[in-house]
Amino acid sequence: MDEPADTGGARTAETRGQEPRRWEVHPPRPSVPRSFQNRLTIAFLGIVALTLALVAPVVVNRLDDFFRQQEQQALQAHAEATAAILERFIVDTVGTKAVVAEMNGKLELNPAVKSLLTTDRLLDLAANTLALADLTVEFGAARLDTDGVLVVNPDPGLTFVTLLTATATLDQRRDPVITPAHATVARTNMARDWGMEVTLSNPYTSRARTLAAITGLLLAMAMAAMLIAVIAASLIAHRFAQPIIRLTDASRRLAEGNLASRVATEDGTGTLEVQVLAEQWNTMAARLEESVGIIRRDRDLSRDFLADVSHELRTPIAATRTFIELLQGPAGLDPAARTEFLDASAVQLDRLDWLAQNLLELSKLDSGLVLLDLRPDDVRGTVESAVEQQRTMAERKGIALSVTLPDRPLRISHDSPRLGQVVGNLVGNAIKFTPRGGEVHVSAKREADGGVRIEVADSGAGIHPAELPRIFERFYRGSAANEARGTGSGLGLAIVKSIVDMHHGTISVESRVGHGTRFTVVLPRDPGEMASADPPARRQRRRKPPTTGSGVKVDDSSPTLSSARNGAPSP
């Protein structure tokens, strides 16, 4: 039971390398219970024991007082009864004669009375059957006191002491604690007023036995209470400790690297505070798992990105090196071959330059170094000029490039050169992937919420459904055999998406193989407003992989491959 609480031992501060953090567990000190459950049980037990220790003596004491009072009253009643009966016998015996008489200056008891008391064993009878106590009877003359009350003046010479000799019943004991009880009789007699004082002491009582029985019962009840307390306390403590044990287990699993570890909170056990703690812990664990996931994803993406960059740069460098080696050989002496190799080298160097520019652009966009210059301008101008820049290429390829723009200005807050880059890239791709005689159509219109929708549609080759979710990935190029696909860098759409993201817009694509592709960019009326309303969402969006991040929707409208629609995960 001690185990869970012991995990709270000192931790090592070791954080070197990738090693999971270790927890040092000190062995528990043997005499001190360290678990919450044990401590709670002992605390319960302690409280019950203390209560019993305080209450039991008081109860026994009060009962003793009560019984003593009862016995005292009983002894007094017995004394009075004994006195009354003795008087009755004495009066019957003496008749009109004196009970006590003075002889030779000394008080004497009537011989008949004396014989009744001693020889006839009346006193024995009274002590052993009626009083059940040692009996002392003192006789004396009676006289009126100043208040006119008849009082006895007991004579020490007329004292009769009879000890109790009757056998006690099972529960009776001599009880010296009881104070002796006195009963006085003072009577007027024709011969001489007389009186006697009856004293009962050291009686038989069942007080001690009753008290012992009650104390024993109390002791048994206390033991039973302690036992119940132990069972109840350990059950309650177990119930209290269970959520904490679960929390400790989950923490241990988390420390061991199981980031999916959570504490069960729905079973309703545990106090509200522990429940809240468990929920907070789960929230913390979920955040940790999410953060580690993001870091891992970022790390994987960076690794892939680096590999892709190396690969992309190697091709033009290798080609250039080959041309230089050729130029150093006999081919360098042939003017025609030299011109051809130098031209080819220039093309490769242009490609290298272009790649480097794109990479720089993408890394600046990604790292947040690029700040948009947002101005409330008319989008129509931006779209028109971006399209016009591509017109020469379209004409060269024999592609009909058209634009449809509304008559009224489409004024939204945007970074015109960057948006021009988006449209230019999309139109450039559309021309690139559309065969001669095809069409590329660009349009822009106002959205119901005040934003702007820009569409770039072509009648080109289309994109295979399996490729659709990946086209926004860096360095991703379509695999279908098409001469145009051999050219690009695979960075264009990644840059487009980054710029759209920075505008808090969305980009989606619909495509049907052999029929064409349509890219739709939707921009909000004021990206600055959205950024201040939702900065964390923006940050998060930047971290997600480009294919599945918010702001991208892929749609394959191919009638044969409808299963790959809408954001299918990257293969």
For ligand ADP, the binding residues (CB under 6 A) are 429-430, 433, 458, 460-461, 463, 471, 476-478, 485, 488-494, 517
Task: Give the burial class of 450: count Cβ atoms within 10 A of its Cβ; 0-12 exposed, 13-18 middle, 19 or more buried.
Answer: exposed
Provide, rounded to whole angstroms, the least separation between the CB of residue 347 and ligand ADP: 16
Which helix (H) or strand (E) is 395 found in, with range? helix 379-397
Closest approach, Cβ 367 to ligand ADP, in A, equals 20
Nearer to ligand ADP, 4 or 460 (CB): 460
Smallest distance from ligand ADP to CB 401, Å: 13
Shortest Å, Cβ 316 to ligand ADP: 14
**Which residue lies nearer to ligand ADP by CB, 41 or 498?**
498
Closest to ligand ADP by CB, 285 or 493 = 493
Contacts of 443 (CB under 8 A, 6+ apart): 403, 404, 405, 454, 455, 457
Q: Which residue type, as a one-letter code, is found at position 298?
A: D
Residue 69, burial from CB neighbour count under 10 angstroms (0-12, 13-18, 19+)? exposed
Q: Residue 197 or residue 467: which is nearer to ligand ADP going by CB?
A: 467
Distances (CA, A) of 444 to 156, 447, 454: 139, 10, 4
- What distance separates the 2 farthest-apart alpha carbons in the chain? 183
- Least distance in Å: CB of 12 to ligand ADP? 49
Q: How far is the CB of 387 from ligand ADP (least distance, A)?
A: 14
* CB contact set of 566 (below 8 Å; sequence gap of 6+): 553, 554, 555
Task: Report the C-alpha gap between 452 and 446 in whole angstroms.
Answer: 5
Residue 280 tokens, joined: 């907070």
- Shortest separation between residue 345's beta carbon and ligand ADP, angstroms: 22
Is residue 560 a contact partner of residue 488, using CB atoms and an 8 Å limit? no
Query: Scanning the structure block, which residue is given the tokens 């003017």?
Result: 335
* Cβ nearer to ligand ADP, comparing 345 with 517: 517
Q: Which residues have CB under 8 Å from 266's CB, separation 6+? A: none
Min dist. Cβ of residue 465 to ligand ADP (A): 12
Q: How far is the CB of 431 from ligand ADP (least distance, A)?
A: 8
Among the listed residues 487, 388, 400, the one whose alpha carbon sits nearest the alpha carbon of residue 436: 400
Closest to ligand ADP by CB, 149 vs 481, is 481
Task: Identify which of residues 207 and 474 has a Cβ nearer to ligand ADP in the complex.
Answer: 474
Mapped onto helix, strand or coil, the DSSP state of residue 438 is coil
Q: Which residue has the tokens 């264009």?
A: 492
Nearer to ligand ADP, 234 or 511 (CB): 511
> 176 with 208: CB under 8 angstroms?
no
CB 509 within 8 A of CB 426: no
* Of 200 and 495, CB closest to ligand ADP: 495
Q: How far is CA 434 from CA 47, 397, 466, 517, 560, in A?
A: 88, 9, 20, 9, 21
Instruction: Please say which residue, 71 or 455, places its beta carbon nearer to ligand ADP.
Output: 455
Give the chain's radius of gyration (CA, Å): 57
Q: Where are the beta strands (DSSP E) in 227-352?
A: none
Q: Measured from the CB atom, is 114 or 553 closer to ligand ADP?
A: 553
> Minimum Å distance from CB 313 to ligand ADP?
15
- In sequence order, what DSSP letters do the residues of 544-569 get, joined into one string? S-TTTSTTEEEEE--SS-GGG-SSPP
Instruction: Tell me how far, at minimum, the Cβ of 461 lies from ligand ADP, in Å.
Output: 5
